Structure 1
Amino acid sequence: MTDDSSGFQAGQTGLVVLIPEAEPVVRTWRERLDPAARAGVPAHVTVVFPFLHADLIDDGTRAALGELAARHPAFDVRFERCGRFPGVLYLAPTPDTPFRRLTDAVVERWPEAPPYGGKYEPVPHLTVGQVKDEAALDEAEAGIGPSLPVTVHVASVDLVVFSGTEWRLQASFPLGQPGVTGQLDGTAR
């Protein structure tokens, strides 16, 4: 049972890399075409969704996430082109290997939380739109193309939690910084 029309459930969590540098390029399209954006999720690349239910995330889990993130160096990535899955328009990160390594490390540590519930093979991407209207996705792709590339320095992995009405940032875990266990924060907006 879901708590809202987006299909998200209260207490669901995700591990994401926020990409604020992409917001000027994708915000308008995401607000129109991506249910996650309407639920308060900023532009991001998913590491693992869904992750553990919020009730299962304690200080030990946050410490383990901090240690995991600390073992991975910060990195630079470019979003130079759009890509497609059926009914989905996304920005493709180059390189995508650092995202894949983060996902693999989380799944190795928490095998009970496979990406997308094990339904899909994880492919690093920044969702722009998720609708059945291919013409709307074509329009978005044409509108975004001239604003690319977007270059980003990735320095953290973030834990987001769905409150029942919106996604909120719960903690941020710096990459490549041993001994940092995650800082609590406010909303994901």
Structure 2
Amino acid sequence: MAGDDSDTHQAVRSGLVVRVPEAEPAVRVWRDRLDPAVRSGMPAHVTVLFPFLPERRIDSDTLAAVDAVIGRHKPFEARFEGFGRFPGILYLAPEPAASFRALTEAIVDRWPETPPFGGEFAEIVPHLTIAQGQDDTDLDEAGADLRGRLPVVSRVGSVDLMAHDGSRWRQRASFALRGSGQ
């Protein structure tokens, strides 16, 4: 992590995500098999920002600030009908990606010490992970099966703060999108 926080243990990490429960029927069997995050309780989601702040730094003032930032954005509909890949990863690509990117950029503008994925990647690519750490054969198989289950459409109305307790992810707070513009 950037900044003065040297904690790298998952137990102190948090992240901001948009849950996509509408995707669960389509992706659950593949996520159960090919996405280790499922075993630690992470639902189908699009990441807004990970890692966010260490949990010990999240107090009522932080929660109010996140609420203010997220609250400036208006709810929107997301459509998942195509796939993308990173090395070893298969994901559903949401449209409009720009709406997810705007959420990420707004949080990073407020907390510049929390670049997306620790600053590892230059570009923000919104995605719903189906499989990670897998070979191309598994990714091809999952993609072929899922093609017939798309599109998935979701109404995005909130962003959840998820915290990791050392073994499981749990929802710590939820912030409504309620603005009239981005």
Provide TM-score, normalisation by structure 1: 0.88
Corresponding residue for residue 170 of structure 1: 172
Corresponding residue for residue 17 of structure 1: 18
The answer to whether 1:56 aligns with 2:57 is: yes
Corresponding residue for residue 147 of structure 2: 145
* Gap regions ≥5 residues in structure 1: 1-6, 179-189
Q: Please give the alpha-carbon distance, in whole angstroms, between the structure 1 residues aligned to 2:115 and 2:164.
A: 18
Q: Which amino acid aligns with 1:123?
A: V
CA deviation digits over 1:144-172, x for unaligned, max 9? 11000001100001000001111000000
* Gap regions ≥5 residues in structure 2: 1-7
Corresponding residue for residue 117 of structure 2: 116
CA deviation digits over 1:55-78, x for unaligned, max 9? 000000000011111100000010
CA RMSD of aligned residues (A): 1.4
Corresponding residue for residue 93 of structure 2: 92
CA deviation digits over 1:13-47, x for unaligned, max 9? 00000000000001111111111112110000000
How far 1:86 moved relative to its partner?
Answer: 1.1
The number of equivalent residue pairs is 172
Q: Is 2:20–2:44's contact at 8 Å kept on the other side of the alignment?
A: yes
Q: Which amino acid aligns with 2:174?
A: S
Q: Which amino acid aligns with 2:152?
A: V
Provide TM-score, normalisation by structure 2: 0.91
After superposition, where does 1:59-74 map in structure 2 within 5 Å?
Answer: 59-74=60-75
Q: Percent identity over the alignment?
A: 56
The answer to whether 1:134 aligns with 2:136 is: yes
Q: Is 1:116–1:122's contact at 8 Å kept on the other side of the alignment?
A: no
Q: Please give the alpha-carbon distance, in whole angstroms, between the structure 2 residues aligned to 1:68 and 1:56.
A: 17
